[in-house]
Amino acid sequence: VLIASFLLVSYLGFPRYSGNIGNLAYDFSFFRSLPYFLTGVLLGLWYRRFPFSKNIQNGAYLSTLILLPLLFPDVFEYIFGYRHGLWQDLNVLVIITIVFICFVFLTPKNHWIVANPVGNFLGKISYSVYLLHMPVLRHFKELGKNNPELYLLLFLACTTIIAYFSYLLIEKPLRAYFNLSLIHI
Question: pLDDT digit string (tens) for 17-69?
Answer: 777 888 777 776 666 677 777 777 787 788 778 777 788 888 888 888 888 88
Q: Is the pLDDT of residue 127 over 80?
A: yes
Q: What single letter denotes the amino acid at residue 124? A: K
Of the candidate ranges 39-53, 103-117, 119-133, 146-160, the one whose mean pLDDT is the lowest: 39-53
Q: Is the pLDDT of residue 149 over 90?
A: no
Distance, CA of 91 to CA of 85 (rounded, Å): 9
Tell me the mean pLDDT in the region 116-127: 88
Distance, CA of 24 to CA of 41 (rounded, Å): 32
Q: Residue 150 has what pLDDT?
A: 80
Q: Do residues 133 and 159 lie in contact, with contact meaning Cβ atoms separated by under 8 Å?
A: yes
Percent of the chain's residues with pLDDT above 70: 84
Distance, CA of 84 to CA of 77 (rounded, Å): 7
C-alpha angle 118-122-73 in degrees, rounded to nearest 5:
115
Q: Residue 70 has what pLDDT?
A: 79
pTM reported for the whole predicted model: 0.61
Tell me the mean pLDDT in the region 165-178: 90
| Model confidence pLDDT, tens digit, residues 8-17 | 766 776 677 7
Distance, CA of 78 to CA of 164 (rounded, Å): 34
Instruction: Report which DSSP code applies to 54.
Output: G
Residue 163's Cβ-count burial label (10 Å; 0-12, 13-18, 19+) is buried
